[in-house]
Amino acid sequence: MNQIFKTHSPEETQAIGEQIGRKLKPGDVIALIGDLGAGKTCLTQGIARGVGIASDQIVNSPSYILINEYAGKIPLYHIDLYRLQHADEILDLGLEEYLEGDGICVIEWADRMLEFLPESSIQIHLVWEDEYIRTIELKTRER
């Protein structure tokens, strides 16, 4: 099933993320795909709020540390593959424990590891239209 949203501000992008987050359950994997500035981290901030991560927890892109873990009703694992270029670098991270764990995984730059993602993963494509407008396409499989 595909859904398409257009947002006109970071707050709208976060609100869409929060709606998505409210529907997630342990074990879900969210694959975020989009260029720099498309809104991946902004959407993740909303997802974090939707899954119950406290609003005082700052959700930032883990570009340099690769994985941030947030404690909440359901743990959220925020993974950023921006700095990784090769499949062997991704495999060396040992992401299996996150992908098969009891939390929710949100993976930025997931197009770098699509072949390693669970078939049930939810793909979200984000497109930067202009300074304010983002298109967000949610692709899920019927469960």
pLDDT in tens, the chain (143 residues): 789 999 999 999 999 999 999 999 999 999 999 999 899 999 999 999 999 998 888 898 877 678 899 998 899 999 999 888 777 777 777 788 888 888 999 999 999 888 888 889 999 999 999 988 999 999 976 54
What is the end-to-end Cα distance of the chain in Å, rounded? 10
SS3 per-residue string spanning 6-56? EECCHHHHHHHHHHHHHHCCCCCEEEEECCCCCCHHHHHHHHHHHCCCCCC
Residue ranges making up the domain that contains 122: 2-136
Residue 66 forms part of a structural domain: yes
The count of domains in the chain is 1
Query: Is the pTM for the entire model greater than 0.85?
Result: yes
Looking up residue 115, the CATH number of its domain turns out to be 3.40.50.300
